[in-house]
Structure 1
Amino acid sequence: MPDYVHSLSTSGLTPKKQIQCWTDALTELCGQFDVDPLDASSLEGRVNYTNVSRLKLCQIEVSQHRIAHPLSRASTSDHPFVKILFQTHGASHFEQNGSHFDLMPGDCLAYDVSCPHTITSPSLTRHEVVIVPTDLLQERGFHPAKFPAFKLSARSGTGRIAHDFMHATFGEATRLSPQTAQGVADTLIDLLLLPLREAGASFDRSGPVAICERAQAFIHDHLRDPDLSIDQISMALGCTKRYLHMVFSERGITVSDYIWRARLLNCRQELETQCHKTITDVAFSWGFSSSSHFSRVFRRHFGVVPSSIHKAHHPAQDDSAQPPPA
């Protein structure tokens, strides 16, 4: 079933209970923090949040305050998240590992929640936040512990695209099926990573997931090369052939099979759409060097011979090639 929007407000509580309520809300979202209302007599806060697959999307409004994740509480296992924070109202000051950022409306901040930090807001602020489990980012070759916090712009470019998509996702979250939510979450993560990549955030280019993605991209860029081989791929990626074999075998396929399957899919697409090309033209243009080998592996993969696909989609052309009846 789709998730629903959770809401929490400190309105109407005593000052002491307001602080406890806000502390509990933060703990529910991403870990334990110290909350200080500064010199204010109360802490007026409201948060709405929902889950989209494994992501938490939040809309937060709170009066002047400071939150701190001190060194005494620093434990990666307690805060295994990266927070992508979009400032939409007011001003905030962020500190982490000697870095200082002033945040204004239109700014975006990405940081590792497990690392000690403080956020100070001297007046009312509003944030829209995506809380991402670090393991989802690591699957994409991204290791948040290897880079400092990044301040980005969400006023234009990829930052704005990511924010607009996140905002729309929050509004539609309760209408998403679990299967759709998974796809939306994957898209949102990829969009959020775009401005981080542009900003030069550190990515693990040698981890197995990153190597697999780079290998697949290289393969698709060189599919038409009949000499494409694992030697060529491993040399381009700067890894050993053994490591490359291991990365693909963990996904239930060999490098060679991945190449041939990709070629066959492209061949079938052209047989269905390119009526002016012969079967041999198609096969040779996608790296096959033998018509008989192409027909054999095509039939093994799709269960039909290439000529039947070509004839089914271009019957007039095939008929015209036949001699007229006597």
Structure 2
Amino acid sequence: MMTGSVFSTDELPSQERAQAWRDWMSTLFFGLESDLYGAEVFEGHLSNACAGDVIMTRLDANRHRVIRSPRLARASEASYIKIIAPWEGNAAVEQHGRQAWVRPGGWAIYDTTGSYEVANPERSHHLIVMLPKEQLTERGLRLDSLMGRHVGGASGISRVALEAMRHTYQELPSMTPEAARGAGDLILEMVRLSLQELAGRGNGATQREAFKDRIRDYIGQHLRDPALSLDRIAEVLRCSKRHLHQAFADEEVTLAQFILQRRLQACMRDLRNPLHQPRTITDIAFSWGFNNGAHFSRVFREHAGLSPSDFRAASLAASQH
């Protein structure tokens, strides 16, 4: 019988739960920072087990974000490809300038050897799967262009892979080590096939993803420019605004919302960073393309659940523990 580790805040005093959660997330996932959106009381549960070389974790927690900074990525020797597959709630994965929203019935993928962020804006019930990176690349599959993407889950091999991951996790307690290793090897192969299909050339889906990458790259390079707009992007990329909207039609957010979220996430990073403590909140906001303090405060509170000043105070206090 396969057994794993279980972590729960249920038995902890309320004042100890947030820090315990941060410690568990950092340990289980080889170096992560956790942002709890300033929550004073946090509830979370983690349960993990292994299917051979594949690490599987069930996460059930209040809204939160995790950040793997470039420093943490460099400091870790762990080399995994991670998958997030929600049972409930949704998540936004950001890596290499790409952002992929994933909801129940789908899965997204990212690389632990690079920096990334995963936002869980509502209570989350996710399956997180970690696969040894070298076992996916040993046949020459190039992964960089595939990370930070929504892979699928609605049909085809990506759906078969998703069901295999879910069923394997659920049945691990009754598997022998040999059976669990075989199931893990099967998951690795189906994920590899899913990524190979995602990397295919010449189909409409691939061309749309390439166009979305061009849009995201331009946004990333001009995020600090207050004049960044859909009109400007359409002019530079020589397309219509309608074409821009169509490219993002299958995303969780509109293109304008994507730009706003990227700016807010950049502000949150600076507000969390002790090195930026001497800077005013207004200076940070305006450096990322905002030009109205009242508007920034309102949209920041809607996104983070706290005012910018309260978010900064809570984040800096947490970093000192």
Q: 1:1-326 counterparts in 2 under 5 A?
A: 2-14=1-13, 17-75=16-74, 77-145=76-144, 147-200=146-199
Partner AA of 1:31 in structure 2: F
Deviations 1:37-90 (A, max 9, x none): 103222211111111111111111110111101122222743311001112211
- Aligned identity (percent) is 23
> What is the CA-CA distance between 1:14 and the residue it aligns to?
4.1
Select between 26-35 and 65-74 the one with higher mean Cα deviation.
26-35
Query: What are the superposed Cα offsets for residues 163-204 of structure 1, whole Å, 9 maximum, x if unpaired?
Result: 1111111122233233322222111111122221111179xx
Unaligned runs of 5+ in 2: 202-321
User: Which ranges in structure 1 are unaligned for 5 or more consecutive residues?
Assistant: 203-326
1:195 and 1:75, CA in 2 relative to 1: closer, same or farther beyond 3 A? Answer: same
In structure 2, distance between residues paired with 1:26 and 1:39? 17
Distance 1:142 1:22 in 2: 35
- Cα distance in 1, alignment partners of residues 150 and 136 from structure 2: 18
How many pairs were matched up? 201
Alpha-carbon spacing, 1:143–1:77, altered in 2? closer, same or farther (3 Å): farther
CA distance, structure 2, for counterparts of residue 76 and residue 135 of structure 1: 18
Distance in 2 separating the partners of 1:178 and 1:82: 22
Higher RCO, 1 vs 2 (CA within 8 Å, ≥6 residues apart): 2
Paired letter, 2:151: L
3-state DSSP class of the match of 2:74?
coil
Take 2:141 and 2:174, find their aligned partners in 1: how far apart are those partners? 30
Larger radius of gyration: 1
CA distance in 2, matches of 1:5, 1:84: 19
Supply the RMSD in Å over aligned alpha carbons: 2.3
Residue identity opposite 2:175 in structure 1: L
Contact kept, 8 Å, 1:4 with 1:50, in 2: the verdict is yes
Name the SS for the 1:101 alignment partner.
strand
